[in-house]
Structure 1
Amino acid sequence: MSTELQHRTSQNRYVLLVDGREAGFADYRLTGNAIVFTHTEVDPAHRDEGLASTLIAGALDDVRTGSGLKLVAQCPFVVDFIDAHAEYHELEERG
């Protein structure tokens, strides 16, 4: 199984492809100096494979290296992910 993360800036969305097919996405909106993650979804056929975590980790790594934006997590999955992964806490303190 191969995975690829795409940042579709025109859609304000990160997309995770599995073997070339869309398996999940994370939507966001930009507000001032913040990126607000609003919704994460994984295809039910791929649930319990850890893909939501792969998707969010990739998106947050992109935010960390590709922008100076502060992170605001409104999506419950993103909130839980950040709570469980201290290495992303500094993103909430930026700005």
Structure 2
Amino acid sequence: MEIKEEKNRFVLLNDESAEIGEMTWSDAGEEIMIIDHTFVDPTYRGQKLAEKLVLAGVEKARRENKKIVPLCPFAKKEFDQKSEYADVLRK
């Protein structure tokens, strides 16, 4: 599995380089990312891949000194459950 960054999205690729998931965001100014969509192909669910996509977004926000608004229900659940993401959560 590989996560690749494209414009305003992280793409999840399987071992054959086929796209099996994504997390997308919108930029709200220079300092805010709004995570608006997270998806993993049903065949690959249950492997914590969506969690890895959200983590990629968190790591990007940390590198770029941005805050995240988790609009997507899955991302919101991740932020609610993981206090270690509080440093990049836009309140």
TM-score in same-fold range (> 0.5): yes
Give matches, 1:1-95, under 5 Å. 3-9=1-7, 12-19=8-15, 20-32=17-29, 33-65=31-63, 67-93=64-90
Identical positions, percent: 31
Identify unmatched segments of 5+ residues in structure 1.
none
Counting matched residue pairs gives: 89
Pick closer, same or farther for the CA change 1:93–1:27 going to 2, 3 Å.
Answer: closer
Query: Which structure 1 residue ranges, 4+ long, deviate > 4 Å from structure 2?
Result: none
Query: What's the TM-score once normalised by structure 1's chain length?
Result: 0.84
Between Structure 1 and Structure 2, the one with more helix by share is: 1
Deviation, 1:93, is 4.4
Task: Note if contact 2:69-2:90 (Cα within 8 Å) is conserved in structure 1.
Answer: no
CA RMSD of aligned residues (A): 1.5
The range that moved more, 68-77 or 84-93, is 84-93
